[in-house]
Structure 1
């Protein structure tokens, strides 16, 4: 197994967010255009999705090359991009790509929820070495994350079904990252309370 290496945080952020920003720019540039390829008409959304897939693969491979490691979340995200992005292009139907965040967050909620039913925090198993906390803290954080991921899945499903494609692209590009950032920022008190470096552990 390759040894995990530190990657410059800005480089890591660029590799993770770059494809999403590129998708946003490409969509807004070509969203009103129709492209005819081999006798089939494709709208801008589908063509930008087709470009997003190899860009996502390349950025993930570069991150793996630099760090020597990919998390389960990164691997799952890449697989779902390949599957649902591929279906979007192959069937010429943007519905599949819009469903991808719903599937991702619903799966995360289900996996964490299953662990909670067994009295376990899978987050502790994944992140315990990076962010040491008491077991009670991990259980609280895992319950919060389960509900948070479930809410994101519902929100994505509601937005792509009930609102415009423009609204969904804005939500995916800006809303989801901001929601994740805000959620983890709000957990600071929990980490301070149950962290093992605060004299309690």
Structure 2
């Protein structure tokens, strides 16, 4: 018999259900701020001269993105009562690499940030599977409950998907303009992620576990 300690059941410790609309707004909001701040970067500098010290539109947009990210995390902590792991890690990397990019006036830190975040998530998820742990269950168990096989398969797929996003970001920023990269980052990456998430619904439905309340209500 396999040692169950090597494969914990994250679904057994569900957190309170999160509001999907609020969660999406908190995660998507900073990205939209980044896009529109870059789009109106020159206008912002013209009307708020102090922003000129930050550098070009990309650096101004990054500063707005950093502020919006902090606000999003604070609101999440106040309203949802906890900091989601993945947005928290992403936020920390945003602050570090965004701050370095602005301080050194080097766009490389800003453009490689999505690569580093996605590669980190992909390696951690796949590495966890290597050691017998379906880490995705600890992140998403507030949204749904799956059996062990379901968490393993979903973790593997998300791990590969994060690595795909990392490679995709490298391809786009190295071969296209800043505006094209930012546009793709907002209006390309998000739809791709939504489509990938929807494509996982058959797996989720197949391996879903019933809530305790549903079990008790059945005759």
TM above 0.5: yes
The residue aligned with 1:65 is 78
Whether the 8 Å CA contact 2:54–2:60 is kept in 1: the answer is no
For 2:138 and 2:52, how far apart are their aligned partners in 1?
51
TM value normalised by structure 2: 0.78
1:120 counterpart = 2:133: yes
Which of 150, 156, 162 is matched with 1:149 structurally? Answer: 162
Whether the 8 Å CA contact 1:34–1:42 is kept in 2: the answer is no
- DSSP 3-state at the match of 2:106: coil
For 1:130 and 1:9, how far apart are their aligned partners in 2?
8
The residue aligned with 1:29 is 40
Q: 1:10 to 1:87 in 2, by over 3 A?
A: same
Which of 31, 52, 62 is matched with 1:49 structurally? Answer: 62
The residue aligned with 2:8 is none
Which of 6, 9, 17 is matched with 2:28 structurally? Answer: 17
Shift of 1:172: 1.2
Shift of 1:129: 5.4
Whether the 8 Å CA contact 1:113–1:143 is kept in 2: the answer is yes
- DSSP 3-state at the match of 1:80: helix
- DSSP 3-state at the match of 1:65: helix
For 2:40 and 2:136, how far apart are their aligned partners in 1?
39
Higher alpha-carbon deviation: 23-32 or 145-154: 23-32
- DSSP 3-state at the match of 2:55: strand
Q: How many residues align?
A: 195
Unaligned runs of 5+ in 2: 1-14, 211-219
TM value normalised by structure 1: 0.85
Higher relative contact order (CA 8 A, sep 6+): 2
The residue aligned with 2:123 is 110
For 1:33 and 1:62, how far apart are their aligned partners in 2?
25
Coordinate RMSD, CA, aligned? 2.7
Unaligned runs of 5+ in 1: none
Shift of 1:196: 2.3
For 2:51 and 2:113, how far apart are their aligned partners in 1?
27
Shift of 1:178: 1.2
Q: 1:11 to 1:191 in 2, by over 3 A?
A: closer
Whether the 8 Å CA contact 1:33–1:43 is kept in 2: the answer is no
